[in-house]
Amino acid sequence: MRLISRLLLTAFAFTAILPMIHGINFHGNFFAAVLMAIVFAILLGVVETIAKALAAVFTITSFGLALLWIIPAYILGFWIFPALALMLTADLMPHYLSVQGIVPAALAGLVMLGIGMLTSEFQLPNNNRRSAH
């Protein structure tokens, strides 16, 4: 259910929210947006996997010294991964989406990050458990 909600929210973002950002244009219907949401999710997974693999290689080859700049870079730039995935999606599907520059992509990355946070696996602890008396 969480996957479907994330997919539909991402498709809604492609059709309604992202075109409000100057430099991002969407040309298509909701079905095209759902297809783009699937492509975006796949590309985001690929981008994150490549980043993690590179971070592991740099960490191992530098005997851990790379963590001194990898961790702050990840904390400050975690919204860059959705921006890169969005730019790759626009490159793969130019008839439906165009992104003109890194600044609109970064702003859209923040929107996509918000959608990811809304539909993440974070759950509040259940305090309503019955005690065994």
pLDDT digit string, tens, across residues 45-73: 999 899 889 989 999 999 888 888 888 88
Confidence of residue 84 (pLDDT cuts 50, 70, 90): very high
Judge residue 72's burial from the number of C-beta atoms within 10 Å of its C-beta, 0-12 exposed, 13-18 middle, 19 or more buried.
exposed
Tell me, yes or no, whether 128 lies in a domain.
Answer: no
Average pLDDT over residues 22-33: 93
Output phi, psi for 58, to 5 deg: -65, -40
Find tokens 């530098």 and name the residue. Answer: 62
* Domain carrying residue 25: 2-118
Residue 32 CA, chain-centre distance (Å), reads 18
The total of structural domains in the chain comes to 1
Confidence of residue 2 (pLDDT cuts 50, 70, 90): confident
Tell me, yes or no, whether 33 lies in a domain.
Answer: yes
The helix/strand/coil state of 98 is strand
**Parallel/antiparallel/unpaired status of strands 24-26 and 97-99:** antiparallel
The pLDDT of residue 72: 85
Confidence of residue 3 (pLDDT cuts 50, 70, 90): confident
pTM exceeding the 0.75 threshold for the entire prediction = yes
The pLDDT of residue 126: 57
Tell me, yes or no, whether 66 lies in a domain.
Answer: yes
Tell me, yes or no, whether 48 lies in a domain.
Answer: yes
Average pLDDT, the chain: 86
How many Cβ atoms are within 10 Å of 44's Cβ, its own excluded? 21
